[in-house]
């Protein structure tokens, strides 16, 4: 059973998922700190190049299956036009003050 973004425990992570699913790059970037970083399968990636390729130019979509760590760790059925659908794990670091994501890590679950 999928968890709707509005039902996620962490509102910042919920905004991230909502922006991905709406293909709203402006809202997506607004939820990240200016110096946000990310990794994919354990390797740091260029955030802007990665999101363009894996999310915004390929129709990325997150179906959240479960959450833990107060909503900062998700198991997601992620799909895009490049890779199809795969089960992925996402971990989020929220910047001090709680308003934005300073790092996210994803990889196969």
Instruction: Report pLDDT digits (tens) over 28-61.
Output: 999 999 999 999 999 999 999 999 999 999 999 9
Question: How many residues in the chain?
Answer: 109
Across the range 87-103, mean pLDDT stands at 95
CATH code assigned to 5-108: 3.10.450.50
- DSSP codes of every residue in 16-65: HHHHHHHT-HHHHHHTEEEEEEEEETTEEE-HHHHHIIIIITTT-EEEEE
Average pLDDT over residues 84-108: 95
At 2, is the secondary structure helix, strand, or coil? coil
Global pTM? 0.96
Cβ atoms of 14 and 72 within 8 Å: the answer is: no
DSSP, collapsed to helix, strand or coil, labels residue 71 as helix
Task: Please tell me the number of Cα atoms within 13 Å of 48 on its side-chain side.
Answer: 4
Tell me: pLDDT of 97 over 90: no
């Amino acid at each position: 059973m999928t968890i709707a973004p509005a039902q996620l425990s962490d509102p910042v992570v919920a905004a991230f998922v909502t922006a991905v699913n709406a293909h709203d790059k402006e809202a997506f970037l607004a939820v990240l700190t200016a110096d946000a970083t990310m990794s994919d399968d354990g390797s740091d990636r260029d955030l802007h190049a990665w999101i363009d390729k894996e999310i915004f130019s390929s129709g990325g979509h997150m179906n959240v299956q479960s959450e833990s760590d107060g909503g900062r760790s998700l198991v997601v059925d992620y799909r895009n036009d490049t890779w199809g659908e795969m089960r992925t794990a996402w971990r989020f670091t929220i910047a001090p003050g709680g308003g934005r994501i300073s790092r996210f890590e994803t990889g196969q679950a």
